[in-house]
Amino acid sequence: MEKVINEIMNKKIGDVIVNASLAKYTTYKVGGIARAVVYPKDTLKLVELMEIIREHDVKHFILGNGSNVLFSDNVYEGIIIKLDNFDNIEFFDRKIKVGAGYSLIKLANEAMKRGLAGLEFASGIPGTIGGAIFMNAGAYNSDMSKIVESVTVLTPDLKVINLRNKEMLFGYRESFLQHNRGFICLGAILKLKHGDRDILEEVMKDRKLKRKRTQPLEYPSAGSVFRNPEGMYAGAIIEELNLKGYQVGGAKISEKHANFIINVGNAKASDIKQIIDLVKEKVKEKYNIALRVEQRLVNWNIENEEKKEE
């Protein structure tokens, strides 16, 4: 790995943080050490980085704000790629051209200020545009699929192409990118509608207050842990099992919202994972429902862990 890291540095790909604690890069505030976190300067440097990674057969992971991911406590023997420099933004009447590294919450606020409607659902989702598109993030009966016109991606053969909305194969917390991991989201064009700024601002304020009342925002978490089964709410199912407040080490099922696992102090990733496994087991046993984890599980010992969750 030292040889790979040195090559990345020598080619001036971008900022490189060596032996970085993933707890600093995830909203759960847990995770092991990553051998290197790299911030490519632009698309050309990202292509160079991917060429190096492939030449040396090094594993890698594209990480946004770390708001929907659970890394294990183990050392990540690979490269974490952060697209923070892909933060360009341009407004064209009702359309927005925005980079993958741009904050979703910030974008929702910028749209509101311009009287553009359609992003209100995203005003409380602490992710990046790239992560939101990857997961088809959503809330309040809306999601990214409703506003994405096209997505710019880097293909497995390192070409830059645009995919139209229908080519993204959006579904409930799903997209083409989840099932075609060789593609990297670089940015997107979003299409919104004209709206009344004052009304949009009031809606966003009301939802912010509701989140404070109903979600444990005072603790590190990664949002909803499980996807809602069709016609049901995962939080309600977990609550019916009297699991609110269940704790392992420094991790706990929130007493405010049962579909949140919170870090109440010095939690380990393994504590969180143990709770996830227990909830899945109890729900399967009582209701014969196989809950699906909404968050991405990365660098765990179980082979193909992520694929099992898809």
Indicate which residue of 67, 72, 221, 294 is catalytic: 294
Judge whether 187 and 154 are in contact, CB under 8 Å: no
240 is an active site residue: no
Q: Is 294 a catalytic residue?
A: yes
Question: Using CA atoms, how far apart are residues 310 and 303, in angstroms rounded to an integer?
Answer: 14
Amino acid making up residue 175: S
Which member of 173, 175, 221, 254 is catalytic? 173
Burial class (CB in 10 A: 0-12, 13-18, 19+), 249: middle
Q: How many residues does the chain have?
A: 310
Among residues 237, 239, 265, 240, the alpha carbon closest in space to that of 252 is found at: 265
Phi, psi of 210 (to 5 degrees): -65, -40
Angle, helices 2-10 vs 43-55, to 10°: value is: 150
Catalytic-residue membership of 224 = yes
Residue 68, Cβ neighbours under 10 Å: how many? 25
- The catalytic residue positions are 173, 224, 294
